[in-house]
Amino acid sequence: MNELKEIKFIDIDGIKLGHAEDEIGGTGVSVVIAKDGATGGVDVRGGAPGTRETDLLDPSEMVEKVHAVVLSGGSAFGLDASSGVMKYLEERDIGFDVTVAKVPIVCQAVLFDLAFKDPKARPDKEMGYKACINSETYSGDINGNIGGGFGATVGKLLGPDTSMKGGLGTYAVEVNGLKVGAIVCVNCLGDVIDPKNSEIVAGAFDRSTKTFLNSENILLNNINKEKTPFKGNTTIGIIVTNAKFTKAEAKKVSSMAHNGFARTMRPAHTMFDGDTIFTMATNKIESDVTTVGMISSNVMEKAILRAVKSAETLYGVPSLKGLASFE
């Protein structure tokens, strides 16, 4: 029987990963670079997305490959980080050849972290460029308060005062030469659940009683009341694989990977989340889209759990690791 072996996310053929943060402002950016290009797909399920260059990933559009995908904080302001990624790639002659220049194809999704620390601190061109530079030497497997997940929080149905720390998570596996990994910035409106026992891992948290409030119960108990939930959310991620796929197949992988969101976040894909998953296929090995999609949903699930389990309490926002000592 073939078994899945855990590997580092950066062990997937044809990619590099870089992070950068503004630790004082409370935001950050992560970038996955494929200098030789990767077949791209995307599936946007949330009702409030902030994205860049998702239209060209439609299977009917001309461009086949992307050179980088960016995940960042900063809400729509954070889309500026892609300019720094484009600068970095152009300097290295990486991009779609249009004869007079090579245009780097850079996609991006953002999350809302403006209420975390300083609302004037946003990922910009400089931070995007710095993340690319850092990708040249990054060899770790750091999760939690890093990159695009630095300012992420979860459980915000009642606002930031009952939120807990989210973060960035990665998880990757290999089986018979096939490699599939997930990177995700967890910043959801709802709670993060462990699918094994349906218990809340992190979410809406009463800091005085030190108890979880259960976001689904909050919604049910206020079913006849006007909904005014906190609007600053969104979980964003990327599936990376060394499989050979078309854009249509890459999109299907993104679609199946959303099962990982649904298993671990309750509720997921709300009108107040911009939940988005990209897929990057580096086209090194033949594989079946259904198999990769199945694995993708599993690694995304594990990456989400790793993000919140690795996060540290920051700026007074409690993390799972810090609950025991949180005052």
Can you give the pLDDT at residue 226?
64
List CB contacts of 58: < 8 A, sequence separation 6 or more: 247
Residue 199 CB coordination number (10 Å): 10
* Domain assignment present for 245: yes
* Domain assignment present for 133: yes
The residue whose two tokens read 């194809």 is 105
CATH code for the domain in which residue 226 is found: 3.60.70.12
* Domain assignment present for 97: yes
List CB contacts of 149: < 8 A, sequence separation 6 or more: 28, 30, 166, 167, 168, 169, 184, 185, 186, 187, 307, 311
φ and ψ at residue 94, rounded to 5 degrees: -110, 125
**In contact, 232 and 268? CB cutoff 8 Å:** no
Nearest to 63 by CA among 39, 91, 31: 39
* Domain assignment present for 287: yes
Instruction: Determine the Cα–Cα distance for residues 327 and 322; give it in Å rounded to an integer.
Output: 10
Q: Per DSSP, what are the bridge partners of residue 279? A: 41, 239
Residue 132, pLDDT > 60, answer: yes
Q: What Rg value do the Cα atoms of the chain yield, rounded?
A: 19
* Domain assignment present for 186: yes
Assign residue 167 a region (left: φ > 0; alpha: ψ between -120 and 50; beta: otherwise): left
Residue 144, pLDDT > 90, answer: yes
List CB contacts of 1: < 8 A, sequence separation 6 or more: none
Can you give the pLDDT at residue 230?
67
- Maximal C-alpha separation, the chain: 64
* Domain hosting residue 120, numbered range: 5-320
pLDDT tens track for 79-128 = 999 999 999 999 999 999 999 999 999 999 999 999 999 999 999 999 99
Nearest to 308 by CA among 206, 219, 184: 184
- Domain total of the chain: 1
Average pLDDT over residues 7-30: 97
Residue 163, pLDDT > 80, answer: yes
Nearest to 25 by CA among 79, 84, 74: 74
Q: How confident is the model at residue 327 (pLDDT cuts 50, 70, 90)?
A: low
- Would you state the structure tokens that stand for residue 21, as one six-digit string? 């943060």
* Domain assignment present for 327: no
* Domain assignment present for 326: no
Average pLDDT over residues 180-185: 98
Residue 233, pLDDT > 90, answer: no
- Would you state the structure tokens that stand for residue 305, as one six-digit string? 């759990």
SS (H, E, C) the chain: CCCCEEECHHHCCCCEEEEEEECCCCEEEEEEEEEEEEEEEEEECCCCCCEECCHHHCCCCCCCEEEEEEEECCHHHHHHHHHHHHHHHHHCCCCEECCCCEECCEEEEECCCCCCCCCCCCCCHHHHHHHHHHHCCCCCCCCECCHHHCCCEECCCCCHHHCEECEEEEEEEEECCEEEEEEEEECCCCEEEECCCCEEEECCEECCCCEECCHHHHHHHCCCCCCCCCCCCCCEEEEEEEECCCHHHHHHHHHHHHHHHHHHEECCCCCCCCCEEEEEEEEEECCCHHHHHHHHHHHHHHHHHHHHHHCCCECCECCCCCHHHCC
User: What percent of the chain has pLDDT above 70?
Assistant: 97
Q: How far from chain centre, in Å, is Cα 39?
A: 18
Can you give the pLDDT at residue 3?
86
Average pLDDT over residues 249-268: 97
Average pLDDT over residues 289-312: 98
